[in-house]
Structure 1
Amino acid sequence: MKFKLTTICFAIATLLVPLAARAADADSDRTQPGTFVKDSVITTKIKAKLAGEKLSSLARIQVDTDSKGAVVLSGSARTKEEAEKAVSIAHKTEGVTSVTSNIQIKKDE
């Protein structure tokens, strides 16, 4: 009886170990579909909010999100206020942990 119980427990543990290992690093890099979708959702939300502002220079701002919710904004804006508006929009978006702005001010655009 003890041998049978031990064998069953060992078999179950052997089957569950790969699942536990997979769950431990499910969000570790962008090669995982779930992580990529999460990053894409954050990026899409920010781009939609920027488009909703109807300022043409905000359309020239690129948004990149990493696997931990850190957002990098790049591109150009006409004024410092527009660049700050883009940063504010990104900060207020759900799932964003930090925002880095590499937006350049180009008044003649």
Structure 2
Amino acid sequence: MHDIKRYLSAAFLAVALAGAVGCAATSKQEGTGEYVDDSVITTKVKAAILNEATLKVAEINVETFKGVVQLSGFVSSAADITKAIEVTRAVGGVKSVKNDMRLK
């Protein structure tokens, strides 16, 4: 009976370790916590752009990976690009901003 408990404990520990390793982040894939953090950053950036009267949130796409925010889409002026980058950098949690926005 004692051997069965030891075997089950070892099996449970192996499964738990395999599960933890499966959720770990890699350079190309985020862990669960990082994905949630990036989702929050994306939402905050979209809200900040929406609150900026000169910018149109429908024109700017926002994606975040490990704190790096990528802005893309087509905007009306170079001033809009500059303002969107400025607004994005002011959001907490943003490590850097990649600009892929283009002029219409």
TM-score strictly above 0.5: yes
Percent identity over the alignment? 36
Larger Rg belongs to: 1
Question: How many aligned residue pairs are there?
Answer: 101
User: Which residue number corresponds to residue 33 of structure 1?
Assistant: 32
**Residue 54 (structure 1) shift:** 2.6
How far apart are the structure 2 equivalents of 1:40 and 1:104?
24
How far apart are the structure 2 equivalents of 1:97 and 1:49?
16
User: Which residue number corresponds to residue 42 of structure 2?
Assistant: 43
User: Which residue number corresponds to residue 78 of structure 1?
Assistant: 76
CA contact (8 A) 1:72 1:101 kept: yes
Instruction: Give ranges in structure 1 of 5+ residues lacking alignment.
Output: 1-14
Is 1:98 equivalent to 2:99 in the alignment? no
Which amino acid counterpart does residue 48 of structure 1 have in structure 2? A
Change beyond 3 A, Cα 1:39–1:77: same
Indicate the RMSD between aligned Cα atoms, in angstroms.
Answer: 3.0
**Residue 82 (structure 1) shift:** 0.8
